[in-house]
Amino acid sequence: MYRSKIFWPAGVALALALAFGTTSASADTASYSLTSGNSPNGLSGFPGPYATVTVSLIDPTHAQFTYDSATSGGYTYLLAGQGAVAANINASSFTVSGISSTNSFAGFTPGPVTQAAAGNEDGFGSFNLTMDSFDGYQHSNTEVTFTVQNNSGVWVSAANVLAANDSGENLAIHGFAVLNPVSIDGSPAATGYASGAQFTTTAVPEPSSMAIAGLGALGFVGYSLRRRLKK
């Protein structure tokens, strides 16, 4: 009986730590697909989607943005030029850090991408965050990432990070429609803007598998205790 009393607190403490002391298995993220091209003489005549954007909530005041170019209908859309990426942030004051850009195709020198003033993305209204990519085609990007800090409040979820602008849009890109296969020696078939963000997927924090294992351990502790008390 004395050994049972020692075993019970230790076992329960371990099980509860496993069950309730673990962190979330997934981050709070929201993903969007940009499906509307601008017209005339823009991207509207080319098949979308043109880009995808993932917003990951790091904590209530920090969110990471990842813009990825899309490939559709034989074309790849490279992010480039003035207003290469844009967002309408749901905050009256914010700062941007950690801007980086890459191009997965050989020969390109991506960016650099720099924050610009709030501005218009042709046909889709004004956005309070825009970024420009240096020069033209050879400096275009397949991915742009950065972090936004909310200085005026908190975000309750990844879906809460963005707000619609006066045109009802919250994300946009500018870039080139390039016929596949993409080559540094090629030339764009068109240049233009895209927006029309369509919500695609979300992932919210959920209990990890360790929590389930912890509950199982708690059950095992109870079973072991009952067997000991019967002896």
- What percent of the chain is modeled with pLDDT above 70? 77
pLDDT for 188: 97
3-class SS at 153?
A: coil
- What percent of the chain is modeled with pLDDT above 90? 73
Q: Is the pLDDT at 5 greater than 50, yes or no?
A: no
φ/ψ region of 123 (left if φ > 0, alpha if ψ in -120 to 50, else beta) reads: left
Reported confidence tier of residue 207, pLDDT bands at 50, 70, 90: low
pTM of the model: 0.80
Measured between alpha carbons, how far is residue 119 from residues 113, 116, 142, 208 in Å?
16, 8, 22, 42
Within 8 A by CB and 6+ apart from 204, the residues are 26, 28, 157
Q: What is the pLDDT of residues 47-68, one digit of tens each?
A: 999 999 999 999 999 999 999 9
What residue ranges do the domains of the chain occupy?
25-204
Axis-axis angle for helices 209-230, 2-20 (nearest 10):
170
3-class SS at 121?
A: coil
Long-range contacts of 22-26 (CB under 8 A, 24+ apart): 22/207, 22/208, 22/210, 22/211, 22/214, 23/208, 24/205, 24/206, 24/207, 24/208, 25/205, 25/206, 25/207, 25/208, 25/209, 26/203, 26/204, 26/205, 26/206
Report how far residue 123's alpha carbon sits from residue 113's, in angstroms, rounded to the nearest whole number. 22
